[in-house]
Structure 1
């Protein structure tokens, strides 16, 4: 029956393996043993375990794929009753994440299934944190003028510990090349003085620290903080603001401490 159903290719292989005797003169067990040893030769147990020990999780490889590969390699290692123990040890040792491995090492007694469940939980927590961070970053960058004012406000905080200036103890940032308008009122000038400042981010008449395009990326140079129309790579004819950089100007005068965002030509 075996010879009848194996097909022409397998029967031809049997004839070659049994030569000079015909396959019909062999017993069933003898034919199965001959074909099995030829198609799937017995592997070296030491060599298979060596390959198993060398397996490590690759960067970016999901834990389930890594575990599946370990199980496949362990199938030829003949671990018998020690299969889960060897899987646990190699699974933890080959983790690419040092933090995840250290967390599992903190458990004095942990079984194979518990180690896998803990690692999967840590992996899910990391992915959730990455997704949450990406959503928060996208929300902040797309917040428009409100987000720009909050970000720039860190660099333009000006405060007085005492009185003076006639504006409730708060002084405005000073811009290079311009005198403080309004004399000693400390109020920052009127609408004409505000309109005189051209924004180097978008070109409109307002202060750069109030511009809503502070978190936009330039389509020309891909740098954050200005539009393509104001990019120095495009607007070479008018480079009043080209090549300027931000720096923090710290000015202290007795009880006053000012921090302002200013621009300086190269």
Structure 2
């Protein structure tokens, strides 16, 4: 609906120079004017656009604009002249070398998504003065600034002559997705090999060497598993092979079988033994 119907698309815009960036607001304001068919053709004098712009200013910003056009007034100054004065005041000149320094020093932040990192690289390049070499600069900064070594390694294997910025982003996202999928599969397998999953070994009542039992003589002669201490399976079939010892933090045995321990277990644990205290991944 056009301005003539007293309804303005995007008419809730406001601008506070202390809290907002003039360049971003100006682009939004121009988009709003276009949506409402306010152009150099339909608003040749710019009076409507000037009036709408002034109504978006908070009081302090309005006062700044008023001072900028003095001795003229805001209601009489041309729209194009008003924009020029606001541009000159709110947009400080950029030093290309300083902007390039910030660009080349940028690195992906911890927890920053790949898409967000790519967008930040683009933003940092805005005032660097890159022309034909823009895509190459964007690609190089994106790749070299990646936080994850696996994603960086994948892109390092690509041909520098064929790898574009957009392709680098796509490959990095695909690598991350594949890695996360693999981790999820690995977690599922570990869970299946843990308590309540995978192959379950029988747990028999303990038999002390001083209390021989004819029915368990065969078990007493079997060597205890070096990982968990049970005698009902061999080391290569132990389901606790991926757990870590709580005493030495070494993966491959439980604390009950740790060489740092003063105790040695040469019997089959009872069903009531609580092995859960020894388990940690």
Aligned to 1:190: 214
**Per-residue deviation, residues 154-186 of structure 1 (Å, max 9, x unmatched):** xxxxxxxxxxxxxxxxxxxxx9x72796xxxxx
Q: State yes or no: 1:4 paired with 2:57.
A: no
Aligned to 1:38: 89
Residue 266 (structure 2) aligned to one of 255, 262, 266 = 262
Question: How far apart are 1:81 and its partner, in Å?
Answer: 3.4
CA distance in 2, matches of 1:66, 1:132: 27
As a proportion of its length, which structure holds more strand?
1
Structure with bigger RCO (C-alpha 8 Å, 6+ apart)? 1
TM-score relative to the length of structure 2: 0.52
Aligned to 1:254: none
**Per-residue deviation, residues 97-122 of structure 1 (Å, max 9, x unmatched):** 33332332222222222222221221
**Per-residue deviation, residues 29-50 of structure 1 (Å, max 9, x unmatched):** 2211111222232322222222
TM-score relative to the length of structure 1: 0.55
Change (3 A) 1:143 1:23: closer
CA distance in 2, matches of 1:244, 1:142: 17
Residue 118 (structure 1) aligned to one of 171, 178, 188 = 171
CA distance in 1, matches of 2:63, 2:196: 74
Aligned to 2:15: none
CA distance in 1, matches of 2:201, 2:114: 40
Aligned to 1:22: 73
- List gaps (5 residues or longer) in structure 1: 153-174, 182-188, 197-206, 216-221, 225-242, 248-259
**Per-residue deviation, residues 116-151 of structure 1 (Å, max 9, x unmatched):** 2221221111111111111111111034583457xx
Partner-residue secondary structure (3-state), 1:78 = coil
CA contact under 8 A between 2:151 and 2:172: conserved in structure 1?
yes
Q: State yes or no: 1:146 paired with 2:177.
A: no
Change (3 A) 1:132 1:33: same
Change (3 A) 1:246 1:24: closer
CA contact under 8 A between 2:66 and 2:74: conserved in structure 1?
yes
Change (3 A) 1:34 1:145: closer
Q: State yes or no: 1:127 paired with 2:151.
A: no
CA contact under 8 A between 2:115 and 2:169: conserved in structure 1?
no
Q: What is the Cα-based RMSD across aligned positions, in Å?
A: 3.9
CA contact under 8 A between 1:58 and 1:96: conserved in structure 2?
yes
